[in-house]
A and B are shown apart, each in its own frame.
Chain A
């Protein structure tokens, strides 16, 4: 690795808002699964920071490594079959080296998590209220009465109507949207500094999705919670995040402030995802597709992992993998063609 690239990497590491200490600093995160004596690399050398109160989105197709990254940060991967290297510092404490007990204390108190399917994440045999107070009792010395009050307050804070009534409801008695709000209430009841939300709106209707995204914004604003949002929908990121990362085949291929990335997408995969988006304006025209699929372990070369699917690939791309290169204002992309691509939008003048 050349010194110049080394320098670039350090800059990228510090991509969180200048002047503030990042709340979460993930560095060189590599995750592999052992399967039939073989190591499958799911995430490779992923580094990113999230500042206090920052809303960061990760986008990528299924299998791109975005959920696994979140699970590793939460310490939720089974150590018997996974190997995780690198570090994930939460306010200076490395989450990847914590013991089981410390990890249990951290989860829920310092980091909250919301999953895609609230019906499977909530326990069907306990009331919503029980699951909220259980979390409170696990992390705080709090009386039953105080816990109950806090739980009802929390249900109200996430916009659940009749919170006192819903406190005693079982998950199946709530609609999908309310269940997801209850999930968010549980994740946030101990006031964690970081919330990881993995496809939190994928299973709900669009009008409910809009409500939930607004709720996350409000909670971030009022409580200063940092949020890491994982989604396959760039539109959701455009709607709510400050910064975004595109992941492909376990690597970050583009990262930057949402406005910059959407204005000047600099990696062909990000461009592909944007072009594949149907809309009123694509009527009568074929959508851009990204043909092919994620490379299997044995298909990976020293070249760019996206090269086999990339319509902009050059000869060089099959041989050498580009590092994340800086394009200014914390916008980075892992592509040899990046400067060409950016040149094309501005030169194209099609706006």
Chain B
């Protein structure tokens, strides 16, 4: 198993395997995944539902048991097999999940929810906890008067800000975002993405950002891992991987993302994958992607490809990565008009041309 470059990594996951018992059989949701994230960087994990990306995050958080190890910072590597849920220990990793509503206790006020991780840790006085929570709420852009409200009195965007505040209040080194902006409208999503970027810079956070939305990952991530059926099938620098993908599944994900571009700026023929992801209970022999792959050959059914280097820093699990020519993401964007309140004068542009 080739691991990612681990020399300076702050978060390192090695050979993670997670299995669930299903009707007497074993469902392998995560199959020998290794990755590493440098301090202050964002690792984007992309894949469709059932690819195992959320399960991997839950294993790192100690919410499900598996095999393999996780190491954060200078701590010793911990086994994923042991439950790591002790209330008293400081948690170097925190998570923000997709549904901001179900993640909050409806009977707790916003302030109480945010203070909860500090209370559980038990090292601060009530006063300190309250001060720290209020400061964090302010930092994520929530006005002070919201602190005494209950979740049902907040909008979806406000609730997600509360979740972010709660995740950051205990000063974690790693923030795991599991589809944290997927339930939000595009305008709101942009606000939360901007907030996360600011917070990452200010707190020096290392992020593992999980999403099915390639656009979000493309915007945020320094490095990207593509998961399919529990396997990491491609891993590399974000810009390289997206503009010059090496795995057919990465290509398909890029092509499937509808771009809001006028006709003449649109890419040529789209690759549309046929069929659906097979059940992880009955994975195909050989390459997990071969049943939907348009380049599939005999060897793909016989031998499972492992992650290997194909030049330019990317690791890819495909037998024929060097032989196939794949289409990547666009490098140019259609310019938008500048929105300023001064008619026809060059002022501060708000709607930039990107």
Contacts and interface: CB of A to CB of B under 8 A. Distances in A.
Interface in A264-288: 264-265, 268, 271-283, 285-288
Q: Chain A interface mostly helix, strand, loop or mixed?
A: helix
Interface residues of B, number: 64
A287 B333 CA distance: 13
Contact of B273 (A210, A260, A287, A290): A210
B284 to A, nearest CB: 16
A206 B257 contact: yes
A268 B336 CA distance: 10
B197 interface: yes
Given A210-B273, A232-B185, A279 B336 contact: no
Given A209-B256, A210-B272, A289-B190, A345 B336 contact: yes
A239 B267 CA distance: 11
A313 B350 CA distance: 12
Nearest to B259: A235
Nearest to A341: B337
Given A206-B256, A208-B276, A283 B335 contact: no
A110 interface: no
A350 interface: yes
Contact of B351 (A234, A275, A293, A342): A275
A92 interface: no
Nearest to A310: B339
Contacts of A289: 187, 190-191, 194
A207 interface: yes
B351 A271 contact: yes
A291 B191 contact: yes
B337 A345 contact: yes
Contacts of B333: 279, 281-282
Of the candidates B212, B214, B260, B330, the one having the most CB atoms from chain A within 10 angstroms of its own CB is B260
A127 B333 CA distance: 46
A214 interface: yes
Q: Chain B interface secondary structure, helix, strand, loop or mixed?
A: loop
B179 interface: no
Given A235-B257, A283-B218, A312 B341 contact: yes
Nearest to B255: A210
A117 interface: no
B99 interface: no
A103 interface: no
Contacts of A234: 186, 260
B24 interface: no
Nearest to B51: A205
Contact of A262 (B194, B261, B270): B261
B193 interface: yes
Given A287-B193, A289-B191, A262 B340 contact: no
Given A232-B186, A265-B336, A205 B48 contact: yes
B185 A207 contact: no
A280 B354 CA distance: 10
A211 interface: yes
B340 A311 contact: yes
A143 to B, nearest CB: 34
Interface in A214-253: 214, 232-239
B351 A314 contact: no
A312 B213 CA distance: 30
Contacts of A343: 344
Given A210-B272, A348-B335, A279 B48 contact: no
Find the residue from A178, A205, A206, A235 having the highest chain B CB count within 10 A: A206
Residue with the greatest number of chain A CB neighbours at <10 A, chosen from B262, B330, B337, B338: B337
B339 A279 contact: no
B352 A288 contact: yes
Contacts of B153: none
Contacts of B197: 286
Contacts of A232: 185-186
B352 A275 contact: yes
A278 B218 contact: yes
Contacts of B21: none
B192 to A, nearest CB: 10
B49 interface: yes
Contacts of A271: 336-337, 339, 351
Given A259-B263, A272-B351, A344-B344, A312 B187 contact: no
A293 B343 contact: no
A351 interface: yes
B343 A288 contact: no
A45 interface: no
21 contacts: A205-B212, A206-B48, A210-B255, A210-B272, A211-B272, A211-B273, A258-B263, A259-B262, A268-B351, A271-B337, A276-B186, A276-B190, A279-B354, A289-B191, A289-B194, A290-B190, A311-B340, A311-B351, A342-B337, A344-B337, A351-B335
Interface of B: 48-49, 155, 185-191, 193-194, 197, 212-216, 218-220, 238-239, 242-243, 252-253, 255-264, 266, 270, 272-276, 329-341, 343-344, 350-354
Given A283-B218, A311-B351, 19 more contacts: A61-B185, A206-B213, A206-B256, A208-B48, A210-B272, A239-B258, A264-B337, A271-B351, A272-B351, A275-B354, A278-B216, A280-B242, A280-B243, A280-B330, A283-B239, A290-B190, A314-B343, A344-B337, A345-B336
Interface of A: 61-62, 161, 175-178, 205-211, 213-214, 232-239, 258-260, 262-265, 268, 271-283, 285-291, 293, 310-314, 337, 340-345, 348, 350-351
